[in-house]
């Protein structure tokens, strides 16, 4: 199993697959695409209208990881379901958080 995290300029790049207009906000674990790419599955109740879903994703990830909202920035896929976010700040904390998500999936 690979991680949706990879090193990037100025921080870590996080691959995210977003489902908007969901029944609840949740970090739903990992998603593996048909090509084998792994991303973090995120569900938000916000609609993809005027950046509302993107703001909801950043807020949810900030809350789940314990990092400030300012630590997350969308670097690609702003209008797409699959996005890449630059995560700045404490890389050890981000890796530990991602490790807990990967371990939760293995136990399921």
Q: Tens of pLDDT along 62-103?
A: 998 888 999 999 999 999 999 999 999 877 777 887 777 766
pLDDT for the residue numbered 42: 95
Q: Are 8 and 86 in contact (CB under 8 A)?
A: yes
Is the separation of the CB atoms in 65 and 93 below 8 Å?
yes
Residue 108, pLDDT above cutoff 50: no
32-53 confidence digits (pLDDT tens): 999 989 999 999 999 999 999 9
Q: In angstroms, how far apart are the furthest CA atoms of the chain?
A: 38
pTM of the entire predicted model: 0.87
Place of tokens 């300012």: 70
């Amino acid at each position: 199993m690979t991680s949706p995290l990879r090193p990037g300029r100025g921080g870590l790049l996080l691959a995210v697959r977003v489902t908007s207009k969901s029944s609840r906000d949740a970090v739903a674990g990992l998603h593996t695409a048909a090509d084998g790419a792994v991303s973090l599955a995120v569900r938000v109740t916000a609609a993809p209208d005027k950046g509302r879903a993107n703001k909801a994703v950043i807020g949810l990830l900030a809350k789940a990881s314990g990092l400030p909202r300012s630590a997350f920035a969308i670097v690609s896929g702003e209008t797409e379901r699959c996005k890449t976010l630059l995560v700045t700040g404490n890389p050890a904390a981000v890796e530990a958080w991602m490790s807990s998500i990967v371990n939760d999936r293995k136990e399921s």
